[in-house]
Structure 1
């Protein structure tokens, strides 16, 4: 079953080796000395990003983009997703559009920019200030200081610029964009895993939250 994911991307690992700190452009390792609640001095090893803009509280944004067609207002909402091979895990990963912050950029502007660059779609951040931008979230705080905000966006499929979206990928980016019904996200994540894909934590957490809401009738 894992052949489904591998067939879509011919990227492959050549080797892994230790990275000299002087060579690091994106991340580095740090040793933190701290005192625990009982007064014991301890050491913690962790990763640290080198790309966070000065004065910014986050490294990146993730984009939860919902496709909407005004001509069919009762259609089930669909979530925009991507397939992208990731070298650290040597797998094609199911992800939401995402990207690093630029200096002087707001999270909302970064989300709209990244969405257009990676998918070609022009989106609009939700105008509901209670649900437009998530709190700062840490991907793996036991290992790395990397953090982000999720930005909630809608994409109007009736707009001329969204009829034939054309992504503007960087030379090193190989991304396949697709969408799934929002209420089927949990089932689709299970299916993708069986097919050999890795599931990004942001996608998995969103799917799990939707499934909790359905099973415990929270809405």
Structure 2
């Protein structure tokens, strides 16, 4: 499976980098936090914060580990998406921000459908709230594992419903081979999303210590 409807992520490029103040930003802000350390000393910390978290929610969004059960082996859906801060294409899972009055599970199923065209059949697991880079920002998410029933007629020819500014290529790899596949992609010049790499690291740890 590989699909992109408007343009390849690899065709994007950074043309300029401009300094930005918080007052001119749409989705985030820079802050200085003053705090007292365990020894009673006053300290400062600089961080970035999202301004998009919906009211009443503790979580910004979701990541979706989408699982395809096939006779040839269990596969996971990955994405190639250009990320301007990296100046290149990142290997990720489907993901997105919460909408108002939406549960984490509802958000995961919606984002999966929008970004891949697949209808999720079963939510297998939902992680606690996890933080991407707590030394830099307060952004968080829940990682949701979703199974996709390929016998469902709606999943026969999945068609993503991407927004105008989204250029995403979906593809799949065997879940058991995820560590090796990510190594290959990194060697090809792609950047690896930490959440995807952490799943791969978990697979390698399970192999090493024969946890299953």
Place the TM-score, normalised by the shorter chain, in its bin.
over 0.9
Is 1:22 the equivalent of 2:7? no
Is 1:170 the equivalent of 2:168? no
Query: What is the deviation of 1:10?
Result: 1.2
Query: What is the deviation of 1:122?
Result: 0.4
Is 1:44 the equivalent of 2:41? no
Q: Is the CA contact 2:31–2:47 (under 8 Å) kept in the aligned structure 1?
A: yes
Match of 2:180 among 163, 184, 187: 187
Is 1:109 the equivalent of 2:106? yes
Which residue of structure 2 lines up, in the alignment, with residue 142 of structure 1?
A: 135
Which residue of structure 2 lines up, in the alignment, with residue 3 of structure 1?
A: none
The secondary structure found in structure 1 opposite 2:158 is coil
Match of 1:201 among 194, 199, 202: 194
Query: What is the deviation of 1:8?
Result: 5.6
- CA deviations on 1:70-107 (whole Å, 9 max, x unpaired) are xx3xx321001100010010110000000000011000
Aligned counterparts of 1:196 and 1:138: Cα–Cα separation in 2: 26
- CA deviations on 1:6-49 (whole Å, 9 max, x unpaired) are x8611111111111222211111110000001111000000000
Aligned counterparts of 2:121 and 2:101: Cα–Cα separation in 1: 20
Gaps of 5+ in 1: 1-6
Please list every run of at least 4 consecutive aligned residues from structure 1 whose deviation after the TM superposition is greater than 4 angstroms: none
Q: Is the CA contact 2:122–2:148 (under 8 Å) kept in the aligned structure 1?
A: no
Is 1:118 the equivalent of 2:115? yes
Gaps of 5+ in 2: 1-7
1:125 and 1:56, CA in 2 relative to 1: closer, same or farther beyond 3 A?
farther
1:157 and 1:191, CA in 2 relative to 1: closer, same or farther beyond 3 A?
same
Q: Is the CA contact 2:48–2:137 (under 8 Å) kept in the aligned structure 1?
A: yes
Which residue of structure 1 lines up, in the alignment, with residue 148 of structure 2?
A: 155
Q: TM-score, normalised by structure 1?
A: 0.91
Aligned counterparts of 1:82 and 1:107: Cα–Cα separation in 2: 20
Q: Is the CA contact 1:108–1:125 (under 8 Å) kept in the aligned structure 2?
A: no
